[in-house]
Amino acid sequence: MASFRSLRSEIFDREERKQQYQDHIRGLNAYDRHKKFLHDYVGFYGKEKATHVKLPVKTDQDTLREGYRFIRTEEDDMDPSWEQRLVKRYYDKLFKEYCIADMSHYKSGKIGLRWRTEKEVMSGKGQFICGNKHCDEKDGLASYEVNFSYSEAGENKQALVKLVTCERCAEKLHYKRRKEKEQSQKREQEENKRKSSLFQEPVKK
């Protein structure tokens, strides 16, 4: 009987902690929730357990060398708590949800993409800070879906990922497409003007 009461008390305490954790998380904004999850992740797993393996990342424009895979041991995932599973799921998702862009050659339409490093994930770069690697703007951010082609472990893959940019960098992202549209409209106007002049009757004096 004592064992049953002990088990029931343990279940009750666990569910109560879970509810308290959920209530606390719901009360946070997106950035504070991000910091809370990553802080708890480090507390649960410890950064020393994460092994970084550099992988070649092949984008549409460039081959970049800043992709990382995080390999965990079986011991890390044995009987984790509810909180551990939650923060680990959030942590793992971040590496393949947002990307970083190199817009150095944006005028020619060459935008290089790569996955974020662990340091960038922890700081919120590319999620709460502009995803252009040369920009640190935090205000006026918008998220865009971009097609990311890359190579991982010898396998070519494609994924729709999120690129978060400020207003100024969003202009760079769409620069070539906007210019091509403007040039197309200009050619169309000139062509219409030329056709109109051909059919225009001469003015009688």
| Structural domain boundaries enclosing 99 | 10-188
Q: Is the pTM of this model over 0.75?
A: no
* pLDDT per residue as tens digits for the range 154-186: 788 887 889 999 999 999 999 988 888 888 888
Residue 1 domain-assigned (yes or no): no
Ranges of H-type helices in 95-174: 118-123, 167-173
Residue 143 domain-assigned (yes or no): yes
How far apart are the C-alpha atoms of 162 and 144, rounded to whole Å? Answer: 6
Q: Give residue 46's Cα distance to chain centre.
A: 23
Residue 103 domain-assigned (yes or no): yes
Residue 148 domain-assigned (yes or no): yes
Residue 40 domain-assigned (yes or no): yes
By three-state DSSP, how is residue 143 classified? strand
By three-state DSSP, how is residue 55 classified? strand
Residue 122 domain-assigned (yes or no): yes
How far apart are the C-alpha atoms of 72 and 145, rounded to whole Å? Answer: 29
As for how many domains the chain has, the answer is 1
Which pLDDT score is estimated for 115?
A: 83
Cα atoms found within 13 Å of the Cα of residue 194, Cβ hemisphere only: 6
* pLDDT per residue as tens digits for the range 30-78: 888 888 877 887 777 665 444 443 433 444 333 333 333 333 345 555 5
By three-state DSSP, how is residue 67 classified? strand
